[in-house]
Structure 1
Amino acid sequence: MNGLLEDARSLELDRLRHDVHDHPETGLHLPRTQQAVLGALDGLGLELRTGTALTSVVGVVSGARPGPTVLLRADLDALPFPDGPRHACGHDQHAAMLVGAAHLLAARRDRFAGDVLLMFQPGEEGHDGARLMLEEGLLDTTGSRPVAAYALHSSASAPAGQFSNTAGPALAANGTLTVTFHGAGGHGAWPHRARDPIPAVAELVTALSAVPARRFDPFDPVVLTVGSVHAGTRPNIVPAQARIEATLRALSDDTLARLAAVAERIAHGIGAAHDLEVRAEYTAGYPATVNDGAEADLVGAAVADLFGAERFLRGGRPALVSDDIGRVLAEIPGVMTGLGACPPGRDPATAPGNHAPDAAFDDSVLPDGAALLAEVALRRLAAADPAAG
């Protein structure tokens, strides 16, 4: 449509993707990644600015006439692994696809009214980069708050080229619960002279594992996973304290808050039963990502027109992973759409998923993603432009 896909295929987006992939950076400060993005946007005549609290890039592609604003987002950061950072979540692909969309839109600026706001975001992996970009005035960049926001997310374990989204809750809200039991240490030969926190921790882990199935509606799912347990130094020493750390997830912010309250109440009850002091600390993470139904439909129609209806899967199950795009979608309607990128030779049913050390992504989907981002921006601007009718 409008030559978007053909033009996208001519951009050699895999070169940028591999440049970013080969030089992974984590967290909020990605100086080399930022320079790679700025270099790839150079010469397009965009209004560009960079962040102060993080190395973000914000770009504006302005159309031929004034009009509304549409936001397109890509995250940029890699994941930390014990042997060093690596791009195992597809963010390098996201960067390349959004750069590709910028090139496609800049070449068509005479065909639309309004602005396309490009959000290149560090710090998605647990650093809340979206919140910082919002605090730095992202949504006011053009003087007109965006009417819609769109993002793509590559999946290493979905068929290459398959687009998918769902209306309503799509990704989970999350938080972290840390519980520390304080007792009294002693010698393992005389446990009755100590106040041992280890049995309490064991009881707490078992009790928390039953919470999702026994305290919450299965049609409003929650996850409570204890991922870290710390206690003791020697087999014959009763430690003075023990600690667990757990991730809590739900498809609504209200349900997550209730889950946290239940978990804290259980921790305090078990601590009291064991005559221990209890310190329970809950830290809220990202809000739920809630897709707007009309924007999800717009993406589905664009996929069907560009690639064929068989390339779009609508109404899949929500996932209990989290993404700070939820902060943007809490402010303006929009949608996160998945893009399968399982490489040749791997079976999507068994391929390592995102965040696995051996996750891999097929670069053949890069032009498709760039073309779709450009197309949905053009469609949404046209829908809001009276002159387009």
Structure 2
Amino acid sequence: MPVINRIAAFSEDMTQWRRYLHQHPELGQQCQETASFVVDRLRDFGVDEIHEGIAISGVVAIINGRDYKEGDGPTIGLRADMDALPIAETTGVGWASKNPGKMHACGHDGHTTMLLGAARYLVETRNFKGRVALIFQPAEETGGGAELMVQEGMLARFDIGEVYALHNMPNFPVGQFYTTPGPIMAAVDTFHIDIKGEGGHGAYPHDTRDPIPVALSIAQAMGTIVSRNHRAIDDLVVSVTMIHAGTADNVIPEDAYLGGTVRTFDKGVQAMVQKRMGDIVAGHAAAFNVEATLRYVVGFPATINSPKQTEFAVDVAREVAAEGIVTPDATREMGAEDFAYFLEKIPGAYLFVGNGDTAGLHQPNYDFDDATAPYGASFFARIAERALPLEGR
């Protein structure tokens, strides 16, 4: 078995941790119960330091290497996200969510469990020199968690020099890994367009300034940003995901709203999209004699893996991967990840680990495959041991 034997030996404990977390999902930065569970386990293991209340409910735990002395080697950061999603679960499993309208539909319960498994092993063995910082982060889904940790000075406070993270991936073999150097996840922005016309009776549209044709036309024009305003080799997604207007079939409404998402990797492309959206909205307002305003919100930056650390992480992953299979040059994803805020400040790498034949992420029937956890825990543990080797090993 490619996973570390000691971690495999307590895999049933990891399953119990994960299923407890799955039953008690929390949203955003309000992950206090999850953090309390994490802290209790860390105390049981005997980690050297526990720091709570970081980014409201985040936790950072420190494990010192063998015979650690102040300044004895660098600090390696290992990060897991803790928060869930506002989705009503439909799995029907015995460990389904007990919190209505909330569920771990992205596997953060599994990510937290993997880091706890690594913590238990690293405390027991301490086969490394230096320090490991275990970062249990809230608010990845809704944003703010990693960014707030950075703003609070967490990286400097614990002198973290490199940082690594994993995310599970459904419909990819359990325990196999993939990543790529450079950009791996896109920057994500959102846009909000409010249209104000003049409503009236549906039988007399000539007496109104109907906002609905404006909304439809703007939505269609957004597609030309991708098809006509950027080079085809530059990855770009512009998706209108919301159109809201009207309350009755015989009433032309006064207002309409559009919203959606933009995914980019290049800051120049991002700036072009923002400008073109402003031009489109202003032009349609003038053409249709309505008021229209754009609110463009810049979100997570692109997640950009450091080449050196990615090469190292791939080498480590090959030691523990199922059948030794790791894809080191995978296609980058258009999803987004706030781990990007850490990678803007210090080098590191973000990898995916297979979760097997499960429902997709963010679906109400998704569940993390507990067979994945030992692979992730082994990866985190070996990152520490390989990055911080004991002398003479």
With structure 1 as the length reference, what TM-score do the two structures score?
0.92
Call closer, same or farther: CA 1:27–1:307 in 2, change over 3 Å. closer
SS at match of 1:17: helix
Structural mapping, 1:64-83, within 5 Å:
64-65=67-68, 66-82=72-88
Counterpart contact for 2:104–2:367, Cα < 8 Å? no
Structure 1 residue 135: Cα displacement = 2.0
Counterpart contact for 2:175–2:322, Cα < 8 Å? no
CA distance in structure 2 between the aligned counterparts of 1:25 and 1:197, rounded to whole angstroms = 39
Structure 1 residue 151: Cα displacement = 0.3
Structure 1 residue 126: Cα displacement = 1.6
CA distance in structure 1 between the aligned counterparts of 2:315 and 2:143, rounded to whole angstroms = 34
What amino acid does structure 1 have at the position aligned with 2:277? A
* 2:39 corresponds to 1:22: no
Give the equivalent residue in structure 2 for 1:200. Answer: 214
Counterpart contact for 1:70–1:148, Cα < 8 Å? yes
- Match for 2:117 among 85, 100, 108? 100
CA distance in structure 2 between the aligned counterparts of 1:45 and 1:197, rounded to whole angstroms = 60
CA distance in structure 2 between the aligned counterparts of 1:76 and 1:184, rounded to whole angstroms = 46
Structure 1 residue 388: Cα displacement = 6.0
Give the equivalent residue in structure 1 for 2:92. Answer: none
Counterpart contact for 2:168–2:353, Cα < 8 Å? yes
Structure 1 residue 381: Cα displacement = 2.4
Compare 309-318 and 86-95 and name the one that shifted more: 309-318
* 2:319 corresponds to 1:305: yes
Give the equivalent residue in structure 1 for 2:384. Answer: 377
Give the equivalent residue in structure 2 for 1:278. Answer: 292
**Structure 1 segments unaligned to the other structure (5+ residues):** none
Call closer, same or farther: CA 1:340–1:4 in 2, change over 3 Å. closer
What amino acid does structure 2 have at the position aligned with 1:200? V
SS at match of 1:259: helix
- Match for 2:193 among 168, 179, 198? 179
Structure 1 residue 204: Cα displacement = 0.7
CA distance in structure 1 between the aligned counterparts of 2:15 and 2:157, rounded to whole angstroms = 29
Give the equivalent residue in structure 2 for 1:10. Answer: 9
- Match for 1:89 among 106, 115, 121? 106
SS at match of 1:102: helix
Call closer, same or farther: CA 1:309–1:364 in 2, change over 3 Å. closer
* 2:54 corresponds to 1:40: no
Structure 1 residue 278: Cα displacement = 1.4
Report Cα offsets for 1:201-255 as digits up to 9, x if no partner.
0001111123212212222111111111111111222211111011111123442
* 2:167 corresponds to 1:153: yes
Counterpart contact for 1:49–1:57, Cα < 8 Å? yes
Report Cα offsets for 1:36-91 as digits up to 9, x if no partner.
11111113132011125421111111123311111100000111115611111010
CA distance in structure 2 between the aligned counterparts of 1:52 and 1:141, rounded to whole angstroms = 11
SS at match of 1:302: helix
What amino acid does structure 1 have at the position aligned with 2:241? G
Counterpart contact for 1:341–1:362, Cα < 8 Å? yes
Give the equivalent residue in structure 1 for 2:178. Answer: 164
CA distance in structure 2 between the aligned counterparts of 1:197 and 1:333, rounded to whole angstroms = 48
Give the equivalent residue in structure 1 for 2:148. Answer: 132
Counterpart contact for 2:47–2:62, Cα < 8 Å? no
Structure 1 residue 256: Cα displacement = 2.1
Counterpart contact for 1:47–1:61, Cα < 8 Å? yes
CA distance in structure 2 between the aligned counterparts of 1:78 and 1:300, rounded to whole angstroms = 28
- Match for 1:226 among 240, 253, 257? 240
Counterpart contact for 1:151–1:336, Cα < 8 Å? yes
Give the equivalent residue in structure 1 for 2:97. Answer: none
Give the equivalent residue in structure 1 for 2:371. Answer: 364
Q: How many residues align?
A: 375
Structure 1 residue 360: Cα displacement = 2.6
* 2:57 corresponds to 1:55: yes
- Match for 1:114 among 126, 130, 135? 130
Give the equivalent residue in structure 2 for 1:293. Answer: 307
Call closer, same or farther: CA 1:230–1:307 in 2, change over 3 Å. closer
What amino acid does structure 2 have at the position aligned with 1:213? S
CA distance in structure 2 between the aligned counterparts of 1:210 and 1:352, rounded to whole angstroms = 33
Aligned-residue CA RMSD (Å):
1.9
CA distance in structure 1 between the aligned counterparts of 2:388 and 2:47, rounded to whole angstroms = 20
SS at match of 1:176: strand
**Structure 2 segments unaligned to the other structure (5+ residues):** 89-99
CA distance in structure 2 between the aligned counterparts of 1:361 and 1:123, rounded to whole angstroms = 19
Counterpart contact for 1:4–1:104, Cα < 8 Å? no
Give the equivalent residue in structure 1 for 2:96. Answer: none
Structure 1 residue 154: Cα displacement = 0.7
Call closer, same or farther: CA 1:114–1:310 in 2, change over 3 Å. closer
Identity of aligned residues (%): 35
Report Cα offsets for 1:245-285 as digits up to 9, x if no partner.
11111123442232222122211111211111111101111
Call closer, same or farther: CA 1:52–1:296 in 2, change over 3 Å. closer
CA distance in structure 2 between the aligned counterparts of 1:388 and 1:294, rounded to whole angstroms = 24
What amino acid does structure 2 have at the position aligned with 1:57? V
